[in-house]
Structure 1
Amino acid sequence: MAHRRDRPHLRHRPDDRPEEREDRLSSVTDSIRSNPDIEISRRRLLGTVGAAGAVGLALGATGGALAHASVAGSPAGAPGAAGTLASLGATEVAFHGDHQAGITTPLQAKGHVLAFDLAPGAGRTEAAALLRRWSDTARQLMAGAAAPTADTGIALDAGPSSLTLTFGFGHSFFERTGLTARRPAALDPLPDFSSDRLDAQRSNGDLWVQIGADDGLVAFHALRAVQKDAGDAARVRWQMNGFNRSPGATAKPMTARNLMGQVDGTGNPKPSEPDFDKRIFVPDTGPGPTEHAWMAGGSYAVVRRIRMLLDDWEKQSLGDQERVIGRRKADGAPLTGGTETTEMALDKIGGDGKPVIASNAHARISAPEQNGGAAMLRRPFSFHDGIAPDGAPDAGLLFICWQADPLRGFVPVQRKLDRGDALSAFIRHESSGLYAVPPGPRAGEYVGQRLLEG
Structure 2
Amino acid sequence: MSKNMKDATPKAARNGSGTGAAAPAGAVSRRRLLGTAGAAGATGLVLGAAGGAAGYAATRPDDPAALTTVGSTRAMFHGKHQAGITAPLQAHGHLIAFDLAPGAGRKEAAALMRRWSATAERLMAGRPAVDGDGADHDTGIALDAGPSSLTVTFGFGRTFFERTGLTGRRPTALDPLPPFSSDHLDAKRSNGDLWVQIGADDALVAFHALRALQKDAATTARVRWQMSGFNRTPGATDRPRTARNLMGQIDGTGNPKPSDSGFDQRIFVPSGAGTGTASADSGPAFDWMAGGSYAVVRRIRMLLDDWEKLTVDRQERVIGRRKADGAPLSGGTETTGMDLDKAGPDGRLVIPDNAHARISSPEKNGGAAMLRRPFSYHDGIAADGTPDAGLLFVCWQADPFRGFVPVQRKLDRGDALSPFIRHEASGVFAVPGGAAKGEYVGQRLLES
TM-score range, shorter chain: 0.7 to 0.9
Kindly provide the amino acid, as one letter, of the partner of residue 183 in structure 1.
R
Q: Does 1:202 align with 2:202?
A: no
Q: Does 1:95 align with 2:77?
A: yes
Tell me the residue number matched to 1:253.
Answer: 240
Q: Contact between 1:45 and 1:157, CA under 8 Å: does it hold in 2? A: no
Kindly provide the amino acid, as one letter, of the partner of residue 171 in structure 1.
R
Kindly provide the amino acid, as one letter, of the partner of residue 69 in structure 2.
S
Q: Contact between 1:381 and 1:398, CA under 8 Å: does it hold in 2? A: yes
- Cα separation, 1, equivalents of 2:99 and 2:59: 38
Kindly provide the amino acid, as one letter, of the partner of residue 66 in structure 2.
A
TM-score, structure 1 as length reference: 0.83
Deviations 1:209-246 (A, max 9, x none): 00000000000000000100000000000000000000
Q: Contact between 1:48 and 1:157, CA under 8 Å: does it hold in 2? A: no
**What is the deviation of 1:370?**
0.3
- Cα separation, 2, equivalents of 1:296 and 1:307: 33
Q: Does 1:428 align with 2:422?
A: yes
Q: Does 1:339 align with 2:352?
A: no
Tell me the residue number matched to 1:44.
Answer: 57
- Of 66, 69, 73, the residue aligned with 2:66 is 69
Deviations 1:30-85 (A, max 9, x none): xxxxxxx99984842775956xxxxxxxxxxxxxxx6x514xxxxxxxxxxxxxxx
Alignment coverage as a number of residue pairs: 391
- Of 317, 320, 328, the residue aligned with 2:311 is 317
Tell me the residue number matched to 1:138.
Answer: 120
Q: Does 1:221 align with 2:234?
A: no
Tell me the residue number matched to 2:376.
Answer: 382
Q: Does 1:106 align with 2:88?
A: yes
Q: Pick closer, same or farther for the CA change 1:100–1:164 going to 2, 3 Å.
A: same
- Cα separation, 2, equivalents of 1:94 and 1:141: 10
Q: Contact between 1:380 and 1:397, CA under 8 Å: does it hold in 2? A: yes
Tell me the residue number matched to 2:413.
Answer: 419
**What is the deviation of 1:289?**
2.6
Q: Pick closer, same or farther for the CA change 1:163–1:40 going to 2, 3 Å.
A: closer
Pairing 1:158-197 to 2, within 5 Å after superposition: 158-197=145-184
Q: Contact between 1:43 and 1:156, CA under 8 Å: does it hold in 2? A: yes
Unmatched 5+ residue regions in structure 1?
A: 5-36, 51-65, 71-85
- Of 100, 106, 114, the residue aligned with 1:124 is 106
Q: Pick closer, same or farther for the CA change 1:40–1:345 going to 2, 3 Å.
A: closer
Tell me the residue number matched to 2:267.
Answer: 280
Q: Contact between 2:298 and 2:424, CA under 8 Å: does it hold in 1? A: yes
Q: Contact between 1:40 and 1:69, CA under 8 Å: does it hold in 2? A: no
- Cα separation, 2, equivalents of 1:447 and 1:178: 18
Tell me the residue number matched to 2:34.
Answer: none
Shifted more, 150-159 versus 169-178: the winner is: 150-159
Q: Pick closer, same or farther for the CA change 1:42–1:223 going to 2, 3 Å.
A: closer
- Of 137, 145, 151, the residue aligned with 2:138 is 151
Kindly provide the amino acid, as one letter, of the partner of residue 374 in structure 1.
A
- Cα separation, 1, equivalents of 2:355 and 2:380: 30
Kindly provide the amino acid, as one letter, of the partner of residue 162 in structure 2.
E
**What is the deviation of 1:368?**
0.4
Q: In terms of Rg, which structure is larger?
A: 1
**What is the deviation of 1:318?**
0.4
Large movers: runs of 4+ above 6 Å: 37-40
Q: Does 1:297 align with 2:284?
A: no
Q: Does 1:354 align with 2:348?
A: yes
- Of 231, 244, 257, the residue aligned with 2:231 is 244
Q: Percent identity?
A: 73
Deviations 1:254-275 (A, max 9, x none): 1000000000000000000120
**What is the deviation of 1:148?**
1.7
Kindly provide the amino acid, as one letter, of the partner of residue 385 in structure 1.
D
- Of 385, 389, 397, the residue aligned with 1:391 is 385
- Cα separation, 2, equivalents of 1:38 and 1:174: 39
**What is the deviation of 1:123?**
0.3
Q: Pick closer, same or farther for the CA change 1:416–1:39 going to 2, 3 Å.
A: closer
Pairing 1:25-40 to 2, within 5 Å after superposition: none
Q: Pick closer, same or farther for the CA change 1:42–1:199 going to 2, 3 Å.
A: closer
Kindly provide the amino acid, as one letter, of the partner of residue 255 in structure 1.
T
Matched position secondary structure for 2:357: helix
- Cα separation, 1, equivalents of 2:382 and 2:171: 40
Superposition RMSD in Å: 2.0
Shifted more, 159-168 versus 144-153: the winner is: 144-153
Shifted more, 143-152 versus 93-102: the winner is: 143-152
TM-score, structure 2 as length reference: 0.85
- Cα separation, 2, equivalents of 1:376 and 1:192: 19
**What is the deviation of 1:293?**
1.1
Pairing 1:358-377 to 2, within 5 Å after superposition: 358-377=352-371
Tell me the residue number matched to 1:25.
Answer: none
- Cα separation, 2, equivalents of 1:48 and 1:415: 56
**What is the deviation of 1:354?**
1.2
